[in-house]
Structure formats: C-alpha cells, structure tokens
C-alpha cells in the first residue's frame, strides 16, 4: 500500500491528521519521516542549551523547507549572551526559512542590523514578535512591506545600539501596512515611538502591556494619529497612561468595538470613558479590583445599551448586586457573553444569579470560573433559565457538585464547550454523564484522572475533544 501512494497524497493525509497522532507517522519509515517534515508548515522550538541548540538548529531547519510559521523560545540565555543568541538564530532563519509568514522569537533583544538582514530573505513576513533594546528605533519596520502584525517587547536592560536620534520628529513619516500592534515595557523617558504612531494610519488593533508611556516623551501628540480607525484596544498594567489613552479614545476614535483594561487606571478616568464614548462598543473586558464600582456599571447600562454583546468582569471587589442587576435588566435581550470571574458578589448575595438568569435568556457564553465558594443552589437557580448556552466555564468552582452538572444536562442541550477543571466536587462519574448526555458537546476540559479509558473511547466515537 505504501508504494501505491504518491508523495503528494501522503503529505495531504499528514496535514489532516490531528496533532496528537501526526508526529507518530514519522516513525514508520525514513520516507514517511521525510514527507512528514516537508508537509509541516508550523514549528515551535524551545532551546535548552545555548551552544548545542544553536549548532543543531541549522540541521533541524533544513529538514522543514516549507515552514510558514516558526516560534522559538530560549530557556536560559543570560543577558550577556541574549543578543548574540538572537543574531545567530536569525542568521539560520535567513538561510533556511525564506517562506516564513509568521515569526515569534523570544531569545533576547534583536539588533536593528539583524532585522534589516532578515527582511531581505523573508520578504513575505506578515507577523513578527520580538524583543528589542533601548534606545528605541522602529524605522526598520519599513523593510517588511508585507508586515501586518507586530509585537515588540522592550528589553529591561540598556540597549546595544548607539548613535540614534532621540528626536524622531526629524524622521520622515512612512505609510506602514500594520493593522495590529503590541508594545510591552515602554518606560518613562522612552522616545522613538512617535514615528511609529504617525506611520500607522491603518491600525485596527492596539495592545499596550506594562507601559509607563506611549514612547513619545510626556506627550500624546503623535499617539492620537493612529487612533481614528482602531477597532480593538488592550491596556494591561498601564496605570500611568490608562486615563490618558482612554481620554484620547473618546476624542479621536469612533470605530472602537472592543476594549480591555486590566490592572490600571482610575475610577474617574474609566467613568469618563464609559459615560462619553460614542462608538458601538461590543466587547468590554475589565479587571480592576479597586477601580470598578456600581457607578461604572450604571454608565455601561446607560451609554452602551444598544451595542454591548459581551461583558467580562474579573475580581470586581467593589461591585454589588444592584450594579449587576442593572446590567442584566438592560442587556437581557442582547448580551451573548457574560463573565464574572473571581467576583465574590455572586457568592455574597444570595438570589443574584437567579435574577440575572431570568433576564439573560439569550446568553450563549457564561464564565463563572474561580468563584470558589459558589454553591449548587445559586448556580442552578441561574442555569435553569440559560437554555441558549453553548459555552460554560466553571473552572476552579470547588463547591459545585454533581447536582450542578445534572442541572446543566437538563437545561443546556446546545452546550458544545464546558470547562470543569479544578472542580473538586465533580467526580469521574459526573464527567461520564456529561459526555453521554450533552448531544452537541465537542470540547470538554477536565483533569486526566477523572476520565476512564471507556469514557475516552465513548468521547472519541462522538468526536468530543478532551483537554487536560
């Protein structure tokens, strides 16, 4: 049979195999090993030892000539060798991976000269994730004409590039094709990002992580130029600039559909945004334990009543049942996703979930994860009204038992995904009940020791993926 199948057909079969079994086919014969390697378009590597890993990297990459996606992580490179390691890795990539479209390199800061050399060999690259050093210089981006997604982490150490002009107003603005941009680790006093903001006229997604500045000194003057067409914004641990960014979004962004703010900002700044923003915001994701209260929820219910379809709240310590009831009463006919993650109000106020469930009958995705003291009676009082659910996350709800899952089986016949990891009150027997009695289930997340062999066989026959 092997001799009757041509190389192209075997490669096509390999590409359709599920991930757990795809690597096993490489053990059949040398021919299958060669075909398996040439059929691979994505590869993820972790380098454990600097010298031995880099020396064998060229040999490894030479066996995968059609890679379009490559991710490389260095486990233990020191600050002194990180830059050298990155340069060596990029040299090997230039030699063997000319068809790359996506590259993620987490092995130390990358020199501008290495990036310019990479662009000449990998001119199809449309997604790049790297680390760079100070002083900041982003003008190398123009050498990647196909680049659409860029993620940059600024190294905590001092830069190895010298002689750069901090006054980037003198640099000629370019028209970049970037649509997604992520910047991490900008510190107070950093310059150099102003040119990037002025050159990103087509930006749709912006993510700022652990940033103390927008890289334009103390000014937002260049930053506002990338805002008009933004659709999605993420601010993670950016307390010193969160209010400024939110204010600029109110003034300059009319197309925003998704906002995420984690661990930073002020009550007043967020309230001003929620009260005055005029875009059709559809997704709002907030983790602000000490900065979010009922006043914000009332502003959401008042100002976003015609657009919001997804609301995610994490660790909302200051929110009470009155605020959440205002949300459910306003969005009952529209809200499709609700997350109340580690929000003790659902445990603290008996009857709250029941009231919300009666209003949110169109809910499709519900996340109550890490509410460790959530009891069966409160959960069941909500779930009996949520007949449209397709995705349920109960991870870390330690007090829930079999009774909660039985209620799910009776009420949620459309459920296709359920997460019950770290639910110590839910045992193996209940897992089996879920697999046998949820007709549309396709993904189950649970601990491995709660799934017997016979249950795995049953899940496989019904095309249910079990993730541990």
Would the CA dihedral through 211, 139, 131, 19 be positive or negative? Answer: positive
Where does the pLDDT of residue 391 fall: very low under 50, low under 70, confident under 90, or very high at 90 and above? very high
166 versus 302: which is more confidently predicted?
Answer: 302
Class of domain 309-467: alpha beta
**The most confident of 107-111, 140-144, 332-336, 460-464, by mean pLDDT:** 140-144
220, pLDDT greater than 70: yes
Higher pLDDT: 186 or 216? It is: 186
Question: What is the β-pairing status of strands 232-236 and 258-262?
Answer: parallel
- The pLDDT confidence band at residue 170, using thresholds 50, 70 and 90, is low
pLDDT tier, 13 (very low <50, low <70, confident <90, very high otherwise): confident
Q: Which residues pair with 261 in a beta bridge?
A: 235, 286
CB 418 within 8 A of CB 394: yes
- Percentage of the chain lying above the pLDDT 90 cut: 74
Domain residue ranges of the chain, discontinuous segments joined by +: 1-39, 309-467
What mean pLDDT comes out for the span 94-113?
Answer: 93
pLDDT on residue 168: 59
In sequence order, which residues have a C-beta less than 8 Å from that of residue 116 and are 6 or more positions away?
140, 143
Q: What pLDDT score does 161 carry?
A: 42
pLDDT at 51 over 60: no
Q: What is the pLDDT of residue 58?
A: 87
The helix-helix angle for 376-383 and 402-411 (nearest 10°) equals 0
pLDDT at position 23 over 80: no
- Averaged pLDDT for residues 340-347: 95
| pLDDT at position 422 | 97
Query: What is the pLDDT confidence band of residue 164, given thresholds at 50, 70 and 90?
Result: very low
What is the structure's pLDDT at 38? 85
Give the Cα separation of 234 and 277 in Å (integer). 16
* Three-state DSSP state, 376: helix
Report whether 134 contacts 155 (CB < 8 A). yes
3-class SS at 158? coil
Mean pLDDT of all residues in 203-212? 97
**Confidence class for position 371, pLDDT limits 50, 70, 90:** very high
Q: Look at the chain and count its residues.
A: 468
pLDDT of residue 157: 58
162 pLDDT higher than 50: no
Backbone angles phi, psi at 310, to 5 degrees: -140, 125
Averaged over 133-147, what is the pLDDT? 93
């Amino acid at each position: 049979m092997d001799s009757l199948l041509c190389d192209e057909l075997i490669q096509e079969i390999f590409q359709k195999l599920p991930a757990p079994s795809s690597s096993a086919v490489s053990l059949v014969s040398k021919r299958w090993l060669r075909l398996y390697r040439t059929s691979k378009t994505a590869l993820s590597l972790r380098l454990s030892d600097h010298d031995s890993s880099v020396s064998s990297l060229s040999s490894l990459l030479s066996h995968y000539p059609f890679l379009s996606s490559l991710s490389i992580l260095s486990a233990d490179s020191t600050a002194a060798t990180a830059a050298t390691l990155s340069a060596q890795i990029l040299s090997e990539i230039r030699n063997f991976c000319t068809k790359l479209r996506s590259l993620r390199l987490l092995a130390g800061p990358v020199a501008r000269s290495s990036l310019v050399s990479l662009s000449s060999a990998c001119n199809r690259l449309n997604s790049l994730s790297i680390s760079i050093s100070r002083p900041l210089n982003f003008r190398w981006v123009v050498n990647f004409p196909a680049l659409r997604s860029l993620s940059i982490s600024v190294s905590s150490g001092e830069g190895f590039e010298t002689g750069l002009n901090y006054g980037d107003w003198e640099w000629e603005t370019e028209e970049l094709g970037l649509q997604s941009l992520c910047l991490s680790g900008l510190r107070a006093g950093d310059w150099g990002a102003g040119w990037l903001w002025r050159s990103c006229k087509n930006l749709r997604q912006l993510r700022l992580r652990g940033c103390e500045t927008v890289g334009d000194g103390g000014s937002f003057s260049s930053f506002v130029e990338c805002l008009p067409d933004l659709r999605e914004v993420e601010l993670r641990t950016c307390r010193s600039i969160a209010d400024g960014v939110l204010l600029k979004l109110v003034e300059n962004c009319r197309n925003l559909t998704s906002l995420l703010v984690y661990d930073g900002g002020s009550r007043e700044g967020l309230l001003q945004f929620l009260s005055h923003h005029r875009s059709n915001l559809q997704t709002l994701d907030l983790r602000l334990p000490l900065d979010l209260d009922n006043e914000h929820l009332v502003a959401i219910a008042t100002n976003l009543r015609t657009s919001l379809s997804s609301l995610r709240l994490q660790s909302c310590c200051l929110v009470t049942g009155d605020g959440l009831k205002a949300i459910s009463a306003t969005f009952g006919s529209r809200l499709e996703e609700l997350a109340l993650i580690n929000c003790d109000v659902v445990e603290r106020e008996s009857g709250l979930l029941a009231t919300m469930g009666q209003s949110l009958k169109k809910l499709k995705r519900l996340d109550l994860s890490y509410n460790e003291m959530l009891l069966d009676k409160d959960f069941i009082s909500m779930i009996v009204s949520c007949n449209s659910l397709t995705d349920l996350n109960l991870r870390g709800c330690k007090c829930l038992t079999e009774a909660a899952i039985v209620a799910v089986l009776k009420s949620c016949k459309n459920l296709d995904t359920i997460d019950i990891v770290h639910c110590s009150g839910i045992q193996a027997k209940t897992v089996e009940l879920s697999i046998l009695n949820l007709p549309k289930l396709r993904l189950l997340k649970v601990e491995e020791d709660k799934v017997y062999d016979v249950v795995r066989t049953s899940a496989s026959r019904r095309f249910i993926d079990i993730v541990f």
